[in-house]
Amino acid sequence: MATTITELLKKNKAQLLDSWLQKQLSSESLRDDLMTNDELRAQSEELVNALAEIITEENISQVDSTDYDEVFEILSTISMSRARQGFTPRETGLYIYGLKEAILDLLQQQIPNDSMQLFTESRKLNQLLDNFAVITFETFIKGREEVILRQNDEISDISTPVIQIWDGILALPIIGTLDSSRTQVVMENLLQKIVDTGSSIAILDISGVPAVDSLVAQHLIKTVSATRLMGADCIISGIRPEIAQTVVHLGIDLSNIITKASLASALKHAFGMHKLTVKRADTDKSIR
């Protein structure tokens, strides 16, 4: 009697699902904090049903056949949602390999005597499920990348505040690396704020910029020139000693830009340009 893996799968669907779930529940990679057991069961059942439905003797060896599109879809959904829920790659991988283990167990039970057939069938199964695992991984990584991209967007949205620190004086603390898209956002925000508030001095604080290379410097110079075109002066502050060293080593000319070591000294300079003075109140009288 020739029992094939496809027949076995179709006949023993329920048993397979149970043994797979058993494996998942006893495995150390079970994350019942991220997903309830009922959800897990529903997810696994969907996958087993689809697989048993689709698999035939013809397409089992053609792993990239279009017949499997539905299974791929389910795998992608599972993998994507796992990536978002915060599963590790290992846990997601073990989930699919658990299915392979379960089917292999089933094969061993059902084909007890014919080792040759057992070998052929498991080989087919290996091929198919390894391909599934690869797809799961690919989508998992894609899901993670989407998360990273979204976070990037959010960071660049929130990380360019333009603050009015005095009448006619704006400050713009830059946190993180300046790339071209971010420079664009920074520039637009700053110029718009200059128009809105009628400020004539902008302080660009770069103490939060980890490194300044020639590209970042070029972006800074661009921002300063655009501010100047609007009719406002721009001061760059928060230049750390390392940054001063790099700038000189790279031969970047910042000599026609006002640069200050700290935000405080930039503010002082700005006060000077506005002909403002800050002085201590007369303590003798006011405190007593």
Partner 1 sequence: MEKIPILRMGSFLLVTIQVDLYDRLALTLETDLINMVHKTGARGVLIDISAVSIVDSFMGRILGNIASMTRVLDAETVVVGMQPAVAITLIELGLSLSGVYTALDVERGMSLLQTKLGPNDELVDDDADDTE
Residues found near partner 1 in the complex (CB under 8 A): 184, 187-188, 191-192, 194-195, 198, 200, 222, 225-233, 256, 258, 273
Which is nearer to partner 1, 144 or 193 (by Cβ)? Answer: 193
Which is nearer to partner 1, 42 or 215 (by Cβ)? Answer: 215
Name the pairing type of β-strands 233-237 and 169-175.
unpaired
Nearest residue to 213 via CA among 240, 177, 182, 237: 177
Q: Residue 161 has which token pair?
A: 């505040």
The type of residue at 146 is E
Return d(Cα 60, Cα 63) in angstroms, integer: 7
Q: Considering the complex, what minimum distance in angstroms separates the CB of residue 230 from partner 1?
A: 5
Q: Considering the complex, what minimum distance in angstroms separates the CB of residue 191 from partner 1?
A: 3
Which is nearer to partner 1, 70 or 196 (by Cβ)? Answer: 196
Nearest residue to 84 via CA among 144, 160, 173, 16: 144
Contact 213, 246 (CB under 8 A): yes
Binning the chain into helix, strand and coil, the percentages to the nearest 5 are 65, 10, 25
Q: Considering the complex, what minimum distance in angstroms separates the CB of residue 274 from partner 1?
A: 10
Q: Considering the complex, what minimum distance in angstroms separates the CB of residue 226 from partner 1?
A: 5
Q: Considering the complex, what minimum distance in angstroms separates the CB of residue 51 from partner 1?
A: 55
Which is nearer to partner 1, 41 or 222 (by Cβ)? Answer: 222
Which is nearer to partner 1, 102 or 234 (by Cβ)? Answer: 234
